[in-house]
Structure 1
């Protein structure tokens, strides 16, 4: 494989998307099932602190990077086969709809609701109600992110294979 701007860009896109898919998988596979075992106060406090901690520059690069790098890849590969363009479009679209938009319009409002609650001043009944409002909906939305980030990652691997096939 020849080192070109296009090859470097698609590999970077695959890596960022893979990191995002891995992050989603880790949350789905271990973090949320683990904290689900906690009582209401422990669950909500843990989730509140994790949501605050994840908002950092590295997360934002991994989270938004695939979309913007995907657009750059579309530009770089604009003169290649239509199969490659369609694979890239599909991968970027799936990621944008299933990860970015679901997060912005689904998970973030729930995170904001949780973050705006002073858990130390909440009654046991309030904590139970908040958890019931938050947990199932957040996990359902997160499952969508996990699946779509994985699908996008897989489509990008197929894109790389198509790109390499075109260069032979």
Structure 2
């Protein structure tokens, strides 16, 4: 039987990863397709405003939680926890960490370039930004969805 602390940490890992995966999926399936329909002079300022709003405390807590809670769940394994559970948690943590790597190495530099391109024509800014940002976002969305599925699997094991 799992200990109460191990159960709590795994539950928090599942919840935080589910919240973040939902955010990524909504962005992938709703926000970006909606923005894609805008003209260049609508898309670029809208994306700049979104990038200003997203990295707020609530988002940052969830962003960190998706790696902290799975790592803590590995560090505090429950008594008698099956090896399968720990492997699933480790794999989920790996996917979440890769998600963060893509975000930090791919999306954030593009967001920063977008923010500093105020003097460039919107058509050029969008051409340099949108396809690359979307490619990175698809990758990180897939990774965090995989992390969520793996952590749910661990919780059900």
Q: Which TM class, normalised by the smaller chain length?
A: over 0.9
Distance 1:137 1:78 in 2: 42
Structure 1 gaps, min length 5: 163-168
Structure 2 gaps, min length 5: none
Mapping of residues 94-133 of structure 1, within 5 Å:
94-97=95-98, 99-118=99-118, 121-122=119-120, 126-133=121-128
1:88 aligns to what? Answer: 89
1:27 aligns with 2:27: yes
Distance 2:83 2:41 in 1: 53
C-alpha distance after superposition, 1:77-111 (max 9, x if no partner): 176322111111100001101x1000000000000
Q: 2:139 aligns with which of 144, 150, 160?
A: 144
1:66 aligns to what? Answer: 66
Q: RMSD over aligned Cα, in angstroms?
A: 1.7
| TM-score (structure 1 length as normaliser) | 0.88
Q: Which has the larger radius of gyration?
A: 1
Q: Which runs of 4+ in 1 moved over 6 A?
A: none
Aligned length: 156
